[in-house]
Chains A and B, each alone.
Chain A
Amino acid sequence: MSLYQVQKLIYELNRDPRTRERFSAGRDAMLAEYQLTDEEKGALIKPDIGLLYVLGVNGQLLMHFAALHRIEWPDYLERMRQGLKDHGAVREGVYAATGYEGVEAHDARLKSEREKR
């Protein structure tokens, strides 16, 4: 496991356009600079947001990595959910899923509570 290395590459890609250029020009050479497992490399290249989420990538990195790949917000959430189905629970970090009714049901509940007031 080298979650730190995965996160470091995402951090650098997220914040530095030159790193992104370097990555697209010479992806494999750049990946070799980080200590990554094949699973991690595959997830970064695809990018497999669901797997990266399960590997434990901090959401504040992953959310922007997804945005960088033009993955819209609802799709980002869906890919994480799919990742949980495909790969099981989050393996590390503090971004584990804890169960939630969902925004629509939550909104409906808040609305009915407001109407009762």
Chain B
Amino acid sequence: MPLVYCGACSHAPGITARADRADTQTREALESAFGRMGDEIRATKPDALVVIAAEHFANFFMNNMPAFAMGMADSYEGPIEDEAFLRIKRTTVPGNKALSKRLIERVMQTVDVAYAEEWKFDHGISVPLHFLTPDYDLPIIPANINCQGPPLAPLARAWAFGEALRAAADSVPERIALIGTGGISHWPATPDSGKINQDWDQEFLRRWTANDREALLSYTDAETYRDAGQGGFEIRTFIAAAAAAKGAKGTVQFCEPVPVFAVSCTIARMAVAA
């Protein structure tokens, strides 16, 4: 069944952890944008949601770091972070091992993805799910791109991973939705947390909504680090989602810089035909 939904959103832990420190109006606007995204995903009646995230040492470390990984379990626990810090209650989220396996086998035709029968969600997945599927009633297929421990996979490989996920989603009878989660420019967990390069974000999103492969893949990591911070390496998740949209164009449904959340909070969708 062709992919039924494709989108991208922020996952910054500040969105929940420091919710009360943001301007109320901005926070409420962001939360309703997340709510609408959840409604739109549900409207496509998905059987599972693939979440391409950039995890932060919840599972993978530099002793054995996969460039790309996918979860293959019937359930996942998260968030791994201190509940009082993230302000999201730890819970068990449903997965679908058999479906994961079929998707992974297909992805492996073109991308050497690692699989994981254990996977703890961190804010990269738990923050979006907190808003998108607050009842945790939709099976999640977690996917990860290493954006933390360089050397990182080249952007062209992130694109290839997105393409492979799309081919896999299209090859199964289930209705698959897919989102990429991450920051655009940001300097999280540094003394510069809150710094945002708005112009860079706008330009990136212009390329993303146009689904301009060449322009999206033209950033070097040195440029990204200089202009968008080490957090900018997470554009890989957005790029994979763009590739999964298979040429469809996108719309930015919400994008506001929120310094206390350390990122331009973004909700965007690709117009894949459902």
List residues of A whose CB falls within 8 A of some B CB. Answer: 4, 7-8, 11, 14-15, 53, 58-64, 67-68, 73, 77, 80-81, 84, 94-103, 106-107, 110
Q: Is B5 an interface residue (CB 8 A)?
A: no
Give the chain B neighbours of A80 by CB distance below 8 A. Answer: 190-191
Most buried by B among A61, A64, A67, A97: A64
**Given the known A-B contacts A94-B230, A103-B259, are A11 and B57 also in contact in the complex, defined by CB atoms under 8 Å?**
yes
Chain B, interface size: which category? Answer: 20 to 34
**Given the known A-B contacts A58-B149, A67-B85, A73-B17, are A98 and B57 also in contact in the complex, defined by CB atoms under 8 Å?**
no
Q: Chain B binding site: helix, strand, loop or mixed by DSSP? A: loop
The proximity string for B residues 45-84 relative to A, scoring 1 for CB distances below 8 Å and 0 otherwise, is 0000000000011100111000000000000000011100
Name which residue of chain A comes closest to B61, CB basis: A11
Contact of A98 among B62, B150, B192 (CB under 8 A): B192
**Given the known A-B contacts A81-B191, A95-B189, A95-B190, are A64 and B259 also in contact in the complex, defined by CB atoms under 8 Å?**
no
Contact of B192 among A14, A63, A94, A100 (CB under 8 A): A100
Name which residue of chain B comes closest to A107, CB basis: B259
CB distance from B141 to the nearest CB of A (A): 22
Beta-carbon contact of B61 and A99 below 8 Å: no
**Given the known A-B contacts A11-B61, A15-B57, A94-B225, are A106 and B194 also in contact in the complex, defined by CB atoms under 8 Å?**
yes
Q: Chain A binding site: helix, strand, loop or mixed by DSSP? A: helix
The proximity string for B residues 213-243 relative to A, scoring 1 for CB distances below 8 Å and 0 otherwise, is 0000000000001000110010000000000
Beta-carbon contact of A98 and B18 below 8 Å: no
Name which residue of chain A comes closest to B198, CB basis: A110
Name which residue of chain B comes closest to A79, CB basis: B191
Beta-carbon contact of A98 and B187 below 8 Å: yes
Beta-carbon contact of B229 and A110 below 8 Å: no
Give the chain A neighbours of B195 by CB distance below 8 A. Answer: 98, 100-101, 106
What are 25 A-to-B residue pairs whose CB atoms are below 8 Å? A4-B62, A11-B57, A14-B57, A15-B57, A15-B58, A59-B190, A59-B230, A62-B189, A63-B189, A64-B82, A68-B82, A77-B191, A80-B191, A94-B225, A94-B233, A95-B189, A98-B229, A99-B192, A100-B191, A100-B195, A103-B260, A106-B194, A106-B196, A106-B259, A110-B257
